[in-house]
Amino acid sequence: MKDSNCIFCKIANGEIPSATLFEDEMVRVILDISPASKGHALILPKDHYANLYEIDEEVAKHVIVTAKRQAIKMKEALGVEGINIVQNNGEIAGQTVFHYHMHIVPRYEGDKVNIKWEPGELSEKDKEELVKKLSL
């Protein structure tokens, strides 16, 4: 399934040119045109899923395996010191294109990438409540 109005569907399926690093029947990996760091890439499923809540589980598995392989390639080829794997769901979480995609962000000493938060505390009360509500 494709969305004819989705720019990432068009890129993933070759209708819009991209700097492609990898492609198979399920995904296309491209260089991000607004990179956070040198080598920043996106994994785009060829089928349209708005977010993590909608993505087919087999496609999701394939995306993470592809992310691992691309991260290893970045480590070897670019000598990166770390990698952030980022996947946003919903506008409040930073999603700007509503086609599931995963960012692979190479990290270098002294880079300006900021993917951090202030650690909070887990109270005993919250822990008990959350375990009850969130356990699968």
Model pLDDT, residue 116: 87
The verdict on whether 101 is a catalytic residue reads yes
Work out the number of other CB atoms within 10 angstroms of the CB of residue 34: 5
Q: Annotated catalytic residue: which of 40, 48, 99, 101? A: 101
- The percentage of residues in the chain with a pLDDT greater than 70, rounded to a whole number, is 100
- C-alpha span between 52 and 101 (Å, rounded): 9
Residue 52 per-residue DSSP state:
T
| Residue of higher predicted confidence among 115 and 57 | 57
Work out the number of other CB atoms within 10 angstroms of the CB of residue 8: 21
Per-residue pLDDT band for 65 (boundaries 50, 70, 90) equals very high
- C-alpha span between 19 and 32 (Å, rounded): 8
Model pLDDT, residue 53: 97
Residues 6+ apart with CB under 8 A from 60: 52
- C-alpha span between 10 and 68 (Å, rounded): 24
> Under a CB-based contact definition with an 8 Å cutoff, are residues 75 and 83 in contact?
yes
**Residue range 39-67: mean pLDDT, rounded:** 98
| Residue of higher predicted confidence among 76 and 4 | 76
Per-residue pLDDT band for 1 (boundaries 50, 70, 90) equals confident
> Under a CB-based contact definition with an 8 Å cutoff, are residues 41 and 70 in contact?
yes
Work out the number of other CB atoms within 10 angstroms of the CB of residue 113: 16
Model pLDDT, residue 92: 95
